[in-house]
């Protein structure tokens, strides 16, 4: 994983949103108080933004807006095909893991 400096978060989100269009995301939130909880499973990605004025990360998925207030760090896992996951840790040490996946492609139904 590589760290992305906070000064680059807005431009990083703009680039990543374009690259992630058509993919699906899974969001897992982990903290000592809550344990591990899945917030989203295989939802289409609409966009990822960081607003430095309000200090909020937003992961917009179809049917869900996952907001991370006062994020402290952003780590990204890359592969040859692009970003595969992100880890955002907020001010309260809550870890938000976002994994990106290709949509499941089912074979076309066979006619008789």
Task: Enumerate domains of the chain plus CATH numbers.
Answer: 2-101 (2.30.29)
Q: Which pLDDT score, from 0 to 100, does residue 105 have?
A: 59
pTM: 0.84
Model confidence pLDDT, tens digit, residues 28-71: 999 877 778 887 888 999 999 999 999 999 999 999 999 999 99
Both tokens of residue 112? 């008789």
Task: Using the Cα atoms of residue 45, residue 47, residue 48 and residue 54 in order, give the sign of their dihedral.
Answer: negative
109 Cβ contact list (under 8 Å, min separation 6): none
Instruction: Find the range with the poorest average confidence among 59-63, 76-80, 88-92, 102-106.
Output: 102-106
């Amino acid at each position: 994983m590589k760290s992305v400096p906070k000064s680059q978060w807005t431009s990083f989100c703009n680039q990543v949103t374009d690259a992630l269009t058509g993919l699906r995301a899974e969001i897992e939130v982990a903290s000592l108080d809550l344990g591990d909880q899945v917030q989203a499973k295989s939802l289409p990605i609409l966009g990822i933004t960081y607003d430095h004025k309000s200090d909020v990360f937003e992961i917009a998925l179809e049917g869900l807006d996952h907001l991370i207030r006062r994020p402290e760090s952003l780590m990204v896992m890359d592969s040859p095909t692009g970003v595969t996951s992100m880890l955002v840790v907020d001010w309260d040490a809550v870890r938000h893991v976002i994994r990106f996946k290709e949509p499941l492609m089912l074979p076309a139904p066979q006619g008789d």
